[in-house]
Structure 1
């Protein structure tokens, strides 16, 4: 019996020592060396995309920072705030147009107006659009503009005048100067002065996307009765919608595809706030979208929708409310998937890590350990409230991630936690007691049997 007790105790002690051993960088799959260029008791780290993609836990509980001695240093994880939203304003190129009617020989032919710029560009308007054409202007994106511009309004700048006036303006859009689509009709404009006060309405709402390779031309047409002074310039204004927190975009990879269904996966499940699906070619595609939290979970419906890419406009992102998503499935409705599959991207909240620079550098950012538990501190535990740094963390210097280093390897992504290890050792000890006990009973029974045979 003493031997049994001794064996059980040794098993439990071995389990406790392995379960509660101090962490080291080798307990984590991957790391990155951090460069600190200035001396500070605290540093900030903007987590690289690889951390989100290959962390073993969706909540990033397995992220750590180690010093040169391999010791874990105190840290906290914070949601990365979004910088203040700034309206993206672009000065459009402006070309005044001279209007002249085009004579037709047929009485039933629609009325046609030719608009011609000084550089030789010609635009023809027919039908209803040609009936109310006053002073007109061709507007284009500057040649240096390469990015898309999600336009919300046009801001007009005209020459100063002592006379009050008001009128109307319409806006059309085109990609080839031949085919025009009405964007805004009869928007009011005015510039009124009275008793030293001035009322000016110089914006025209126009919600569309301008693109250097798509719709890059706008046509501003004033009502014939609009006595507006000479137009000096036009600003295209796009006001971005400011999210509460900054988000990081994580693309998914195609895992399986047929002509009517495809599955996209992330390397690790992600708590996604939105899901963006982009058709790579122009067109529309009716679909049913589903998601799952892991490979063993059932598919859950997300939306029945129509994906589209028309005139550089696409459907809005699908909200997910930070659900943990491992894969999504897109099934077409009475249609086939395009030859080039849609792009799928999930967005999740971006995090900033702040650590206390204990010990000597260089420091190492490490992640990827299924056995890790959440040891992040609160900000008040890391930086005393009485210090100015706690009030303005934006003043803390950045530590820049450098090259990626392989530490414990991918096996750490399936490691067993300390608590689970302890349970395993306890289970082994119990089984050992049972096996030894059964063996002892068999020995006693065998001895009794031998004595009975004598």
Structure 2
């Protein structure tokens, strides 16, 4: 009990020290000020930080974000910025696949089937519900058994026989009982020969939800290819990042034929890009590179096949590339123009980063103001476990909400006044208080470690 109280007291001291570090900061020290409105029960409030506001920061890690109350007091806060680099927590699993047949002249979209399964739900056999004559059946799709995967499904990876090269487009549905199906969007894979080179796309993104079974039904062409492998990538719920947020369209520049560059507003951990394909029947194998600044060499980030093709009167579009989430401020797209290229004018580009949550402890009178845009201030955010006693993800969801109210107000940067020669006793006093606080915390931690454990 005493140890728990001591740890809580240590958290309070750490919070007080963080407030003391920013005590001399003022809203006018930051280039951007955004009014906040709050709702729900405090004193903690959770804010989904809009990307348009984040881009006003002067530090990539958002160390220059602060919240002030109506009288200019800085508020204690924490940032939740989950990384996308969770590859080590992801698992790629081979799954069984079963054909879905129906009659060639059957108008039913989804074939009716009979299923034999084991006690734990693993599929053993899948057959059409009615007997089909040889030569009259048509392969409409595939049923994937994901009953052995308990984690949310992130990606589908398919391979198929070479007799069906070209584009494959299919719908994706999910179920836990083989009776009720939920749409999971559409998938597009491709295998092409372009100037004696193979261009292949095997991966399809999934919505990050759990399901025991997946049903793939082919749209274009209507008959499905013969699969040779099916894999599902999953990730544990604890490693799932915050959702992606997309930027506005960004104009680029043309370096030379088939090479385009985009300058991002600041260094960002980009996870996806979307290239605008204005011209119908565009086909472009591409390589994407990035770098932090123009003095550094380009680093490869991703490659893939972008296309916008018209099939059966509909546009089939694949215009996204997935990245690993490393920090970049410049992006370069190199296009293999044997596919026709993307034109002389650089296409526009959108980029996606992970959402950022800011949680602050409201102290003093409102309204509250979010500020950012200062290249020199030090980080002042606290861990969520320090800001919120007994923190848990469930408790985070119950906090009051803050939202951006009105437009951002940009404060002109004022040239600093030259410091007067002399001793700044106020600054020395502040640092002395901080140093004494650190020494006091160290002494308390040492005493706690020396105390023998309390016998029951």
TM-score range (shorter-chain normalised) is 0.5 to 0.7
Match of 2:146?
Answer: none
Shift of 1:265: 1.3
Q: Map 1:215-230 onto structure 2 (within 5 A).
A: none
Match of 2:246?
Answer: 249
Measure, in 2, the Cα distance between the counterparts of 1:155 and 1:393.
45
Match of 2:268?
Answer: 270
Contact 1:280 1:343 in 2 (8 A): no
Tell whether 2:287 aligns with 1:318: no
Match of 1:36?
Answer: 38
Match of 1:54?
Answer: 56
Measure, in 1, the Cα distance between the counterparts of 2:409 and 2:271.
30
Measure, in 2, the Cα distance between the counterparts of 1:32 and 1:206.
37
Shift of 1:358: 0.3
Measure, in 1, the Cα distance between the counterparts of 2:267 and 2:167.
44
**CA offset digits 1:272-294 (Å, max 9, x no partner):** 23333343333112344321102
Q: Map 1:177-192 onto structure 2 (within 5 A).
A: none
2:382 to 377, 383, 394: 377
Measure, in 2, the Cα distance between the counterparts of 1:407 and 1:155.
60
Local SS of the residue matching 1:136: coil
Local SS of the residue matching 2:272: strand
For these two proteins, the number of residue pairs brought into alignment is 288
Shift of 1:334: 4.2
Label 1:155 to 1:247 Cα distance change in 2 as closer, same or farther (>3 A). Answer: farther
Match of 2:293?
Answer: 294
Contact 2:251 2:347 in 1 (8 A): no
Local SS of the residue matching 2:251: strand
Contact 1:79 1:349 in 2 (8 A): yes
Bigger Cα displacement from structure 2, 279-288 vs 58-67:
279-288
Match of 2:277?
Answer: 279
Local SS of the residue matching 2:289: strand
Match of 2:144?
Answer: none
Measure, in 1, the Cα distance between the counterparts of 2:336 and 2:220.
36
1:392 to 389, 392, 395: 395
Q: Which runs of 5 or more structure 2 residues have no equivalent in the other structure?
A: 1-20, 85-101, 115-127, 142-165, 171-176, 189-217, 225-231, 310-314, 423-456
Please, what is the CA RMSD of the aligned residues? 4.7
Shift of 1:44: 0.6
Tell whether 2:406 aligns with 1:403: yes
Shift of 1:68: 0.3
Label 1:326 to 1:164 Cα distance change in 2 as closer, same or farther (>3 A). Answer: closer
Match of 1:347?
Answer: 352
Label 1:240 to 1:249 Cα distance change in 2 as closer, same or farther (>3 A). Answer: farther
Shift of 1:312: 1.6
TM-score, with length taken from structure 2:
0.52
Measure, in 2, the Cα distance between the counterparts of 1:182 and 1:263.
29
